[in-house]
């Protein structure tokens, strides 16, 4: 299973506030280039979102006329999706994205499978991440594409002898990653909210390098087709802090 029983996405309170806490991800400047790229890659074939969550991307893509299906193992997140206008445009399967088969279309029908916003890191073992690639490839038809959006690990930004990388800070918030297990490539992401109702949200993740993802794709019968720094398809370089990678089923 790609999340543990303690996965934060299983918390109804977190699910209920998820869209509000990530409101910047709904901005046209963020969402439009993503949906443009995914729609082009899907073409006239259906698309499958692994870890569809509350439907931020799936609903926007369905609004472009793409037939969209989604898989997720968090009932609270799926409940948020089902409550939204036009939710019936997305066919939903409850299940683990590393193993579940879409219930409404047979494997091999999809032109596109995608996994966005660093969610491959929610899978905290290498075997589990490989299984996600295998499952994506199983759903794809000939020349189908699998797309992942994920940050490049920030290890180079961690001071020597330290494990902590601070990625966000103001008077009411502190966000930092604790790279405490580099051997297994796992870390804890911490979000300390210090407003009127203080709370701490923690999640365990596995970081993964672009070259390792390429090997996982190869094991699943796919090959790298494109890699960009962002959804605007700007070039990926050694200085890029994130990447959008596209693998094609061989």
pLDDT at 5: 46
Contact 46, 113 (CB under 8 A): no
- In the chain, the domains with their CATH numbers are 8-153+208-249 (3.40.50.150), 154-207 (2.20.25)
Q: In the beta sheet, which residues pair with residue 122?
A: none
φ/ψ of 79, rounded to 5, equals -65, -40
Q: In the beta sheet, which residues pair with residue 176?
A: 166, 190
List of the chain residues with pLDDT < 70: 1-9
pLDDT at 233: 97
Compute the distance between CA of residue 210 and CA of residue 179 in angstroms, rounded to an integer: 18
pLDDT at 64: 97
Q: Give this prediction's pTM.
A: 0.92
Compute the distance between CA of residue 238 and CA of residue 215 in angstroms, rounded to an integer: 19
Nearest 5 degrees, angle CA 80-CA 82-CA 86? 120
Report helix, strand or coil for 202: strand
pLDDT at 11: 79
Q: In the beta sheet, which residues pair with residue 93?
A: 71
Q: In the beta sheet, which residues pair with residue 246?
A: 147, 226
pLDDT at 116: 98
The count of other CB atoms within 10 Å of the CB of residue 225 is: 16
């Amino acid at each position: 299973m790609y999340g543990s029983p303690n996965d934060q996405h299983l918390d109804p309170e977190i699910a209920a506030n998820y869209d509000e806490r990530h409101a910047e991800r709904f901005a046209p400047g963020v969402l439009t280039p993503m949906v443009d790229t995914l729609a082009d890659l899907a073409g006239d074939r259906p698309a499958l979102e692994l870890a569809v969550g509350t439907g931020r991307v799936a609903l926007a893509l369905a609004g472009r006329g793409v037939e969209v299906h989604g898989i997720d193992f968090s009932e609270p997140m799926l409940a948020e999706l089902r409550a939204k206008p036009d939710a019936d445009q997305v066919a939903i399967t409850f299940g683990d994205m590393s193993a579940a088969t879409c219930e409404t279309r047979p494997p091999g029908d999809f032109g596109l499978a995608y996994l966005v916003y660093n969610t491959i890191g929610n899978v905290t073992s290498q075997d589990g991440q490989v299984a996600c690639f295998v499952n994506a490839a199983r759903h794809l038809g000939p020349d189908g594409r699998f797309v992942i959006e994920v940050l490049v690990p920030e290890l180079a930004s961690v001071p020597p002898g330290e494990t902590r990388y601070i990625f966000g800070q103001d008077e009411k918030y502190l966000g930092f990653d604790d790279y405490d297990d580099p051997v297994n490539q796992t870390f804890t992401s911490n979000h300390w909210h210090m407003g009127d109702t203080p709370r701490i949200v923690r999640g365990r993740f596995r970081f993964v390098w672009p070259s390792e993802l390429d090997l996982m794709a190869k094991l699943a019968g796919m090959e790298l087709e494109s890699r960009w720094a962002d959804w605007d398809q700007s070039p990926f370089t050694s200085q890029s802090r994130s990447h959008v990678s596209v693998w094609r089923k061989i």
